Structure 1
């Protein structure tokens, strides 16, 4: 619409990001805020030095339906609209196989990983769907090379199952929510972040060893950082991707041709 002096003014776009306190989520929040977005973030931790003008922090667990509702409400009440939902919060299983642990531990780890990595995504999508339909917005989810591969990438059976399930969820949501909401995903491979296991251990604790392993594993021999991946989320939400839904971008060093 036209502003004073005939200049065109547009409302700044608004996003909700889950798991935005660290890793890829933190990089996505920073990238969106730097490119004109207002952002509401759901995470179990809120940084003391967050950008209070452009970013609102909601402390909560993605497994809680009320927490997902609260972060969408925060976006709407603080910024007046919602254009993008980024489902990103996740945990890893530490690479466990079906015979590596006892039945009780396997069940506990698997339930936890599925609850965070799949149910958390679904609850966020449910909370955001109405507001995104109103704005003609988008959802973008964080998948993984484990959404396509088994073994060789450090993922165990629970994480692999969760990321395969999340891929199916993206496609189902894309079909369900078309034409009013586009649903796409980014599936990074070998990005060294602060990802933790169900019991709180850092997956990439030995960064040098992990970096060497990742370089040897992918055809391009690259190790990407979160800041290199983050702009892909913004692209999928942009008019340049207006013809895309149910699609997955795979910044994984070329594992598709491995």
Structure 2
């Protein structure tokens, strides 16, 4: 019997990378999952792999209505919603302030913050009523960049610090009915893309930088994690019995141990 039997979950950004690993592990732990992603093709592949324990919705996490549809589907299909996981994200490929053209700085900010902050806020708004009814929890994917510099450029690092503030504020506001926590992974080789406004939407982190080599060189544990290596913290925070007293907490699973030096640029999720 898994840790998440009789648990209903919504996961955003579920089509690949960390989101895919979360869905697959949660299903293996007994959870029933609604997976939302902007890619219908990725969701179809996920559905074929994960089977009957998941339902999928093609949508944009920056749209409140799509977040609401995902939460409503969980309630309709599984009778309740226990956990909302905000996970969709984009990276800025370590683009520095000096290296970002002024003409695209504002639009890059708008796009990155819309995915990393606004989407989380809209997801929380949509999930709050059913989670209050079930006394459930929210879990948000942050990053080592929410805690330290050098996990990205100023746009990404600022957005992840904003996500940290959102976790803390929502934990305060939504207590005692809803627990709110975060997980801060480090880098991994995935299909994570960048903002279209900065011309980074067609390049993945795996293609752009030697991420595995960088992680082995700079992390405290000298290893290059895979998405599945980070998922245990999400299971812990979602499991009522295992984390009943945990709220307003961010679990750093990045493997760096100490803040990265500015020259390291060890990457992020």
Q: Are 1:160 and 2:157 an aligned pair? A: yes
**1:16 pairs with 2:10:** yes
Contact 1:92 1:196 in 2 (8 A): yes
| CA distance in structure 1 between the partners assigned to 2:67 and 2:137 by the alignment | 16
Name 1:7's counterpart in structure 2.
Answer: none
Q: How many residue pairs were aligned? A: 246
Identify the residue that residue 194 of structure 2 maps to in structure 1: 197
- The match for 1:57 is 56
Structure 1: runs of 5+ lacking an equivalent? 1-9
Alignment check: 8 A CA contact 2:5 2:29 kept: no
Contact residue 21 and residue 227 of structure 2 kept, 8 A: yes
Kept after mapping to 1: 8 A contact 2:205/2:211: no
Matched, 1:33 2:27: yes
TM-score, structure 1 as length reference? 0.91
- Give the structure 2 partner of residue 243 of structure 1: 245
Q: Which residue of 1 aligns with 2:231?
A: 230
Q: Distance in 1 between matches of 2:87 and 2:233?
A: 13
Structure 2 match to 1:135: 134
Give the Cα separation in 1 of the matches to 2:34 and 2:143: 24
State the superposition RMSD in angstroms. 1.6
Specify every segment of 5 or more residues in structure 2 that has no aligned partner in the other structure, as ranges: 261-269
Q: Is the 8 A contact 2:38 2:60 kept in 1?
A: yes
Aligned to 1:120: 119
5 Å matches for 1:59-78?
59-78=58-77
CA distance in structure 1 between the aligned counterparts of 2:219 and 2:110, rounded to whole angstroms = 30
User: Given the two structures, how large is their TM-score scaled by the length of structure 2?
Assistant: 0.87
SS of the residue 1:48 aligns to: helix
Offset of residue 88 of structure 1: 0.1
The CA deviation string for residues 23-79 of structure 1, in whole angstroms up to 9 with x for no partner, is 101000001111111111111013323045211111110100110111001111111
1:93 touches 1:110 (CA, 8 Å); kept in 2?
no
Q: Is the contact made by 1:85 and 1:140 (CA closer than 8 Å) also made in structure 2?
A: yes
| Conserved? CA contact 1:23–1:226, under 8 Å | yes
